[in-house]
Amino acid sequence: MKKFLIFFLMMFLSGLSNIYAKPDQKKPVQNQSDTLTIIKNIFFAKTPEKDLYLDLYLPASLKSLSIVVWIHGGAWRGGSKNRTPAYPLLTDNGYAVASITYRLSQDAIFPAQIFDCKAAIRWLRANAKQYNLNPEKIGVWGSSAGGHLVALLGTSGAVQELEGGVGVTGYSSRVQAVCDWFGPTDFLQMDSHALPESSMKHNTSDSPESQLVGGPIQENKGKVEKANPITYISEDDPPFLIMHGEKDKKVSIHQSKLLVNALQEKGVKVTFHPIPAAGHGVQGLNTPDNKKKIIEFFDKYIK
């Protein structure tokens, strides 16, 4: 009877452990055609809050592929890697594309987000041979919050305090080209330069920027400065292509003008395209003319 009770107890505890065990990592899902391989949910880093994944879009090629990393927007508190304007635009023009996840502001405050983006760049370099990638030709492209993060990747390549220890280490997180779509830069100036018809307030304690740094931005100016891509600009930064709608009611075009002026002062190559009729969002900038400019930019600097 005693042996039976012990056996029963062990089986019961084993069942509990299975119920409460941490789920396994997502399994990669691969779709392949004669011209393109898409691999979804590739694990690239573990953090205390969540596991991080990326999707790879790989054109068929016998030579190493330049790669563009898409970083989604969503006010640092939403968005998804599942959709990217880089596919099929760039894959049709011979580029590999990676679309990545990062910790959102409800998961962890800044600098967790840039730690995760840099971890993705290091992972791509560490695994370049396996996926036929050129580790010396990595560009980045992002919109809104993603624009902010790609700008930071561009200006903080040698900044150790923003490197973090997430994921693969021992590889460079530098990038060779940056396409920034309407990304914020200096949060402290967002309200003072907003369009008159804008209803969004950035100085409030529940604004996306305040949630990103962990408190009202005007009371946390040191943290805001640390999150500002302009803080880290140096002469060896990669070329930038910056596009911003002049009718943007959420992130004023003034934010991009600040970045453009600062890059120019340091002698960094930067091309700026204000879009007269565009507001805030990918759709307004996703025009044939702008697509052509993006392809020409990456062709010039990383292809």
Query: Is the pLDDT higher at 11 or at 129?
Result: 129
- 170-218 pLDDT, tens digit each: 999 999 999 999 999 999 999 999 999 999 999 999 999 999 999 999 9
The pLDDT of residue 130 is above 90: yes
Q: Taking the mean position of all CA atoms in its chain, how far away is CA 102?
A: 7
Domain ranges of the chain: 30-301
- 70-115 pLDDT, tens digit each: 999 999 999 999 999 999 999 999 999 999 999 999 999 999 999 9
Query: Global pTM?
Result: 0.91
Q: Are 182 and 198 in contact (CB under 8 A)?
A: no
- From the list 186, 63, 174, 185, the residue with the least C-alpha distance to 129 is 63
Nearest-5° Cα angle at 166, 165 to 170 = 60
What number of CA atoms fall less than 13 Å from residue 233's CA on the CB side? 21
Residue 112, Cβ density class (10 Å: 0-12 exposed, 13-18 middle, ≥19 buried) = buried
- 225-262 pLDDT, tens digit each: 999 999 999 999 999 999 999 999 999 999 999 999 99
Of all residues in the chain, the percent with pLDDT exceeding 90 is 85
- 286-300 pLDDT, tens digit each: 899 999 999 999 999
* pLDDT value at residue 199: 92
Q: Which CATH number fits domain 30-301: 3.30.450.40, 3.40.190.10, 3.40.50.1820, 3.30.230.70?
A: 3.40.50.1820
- From the list 139, 244, 273, 261, the residue with the least C-alpha distance to 181 is 244
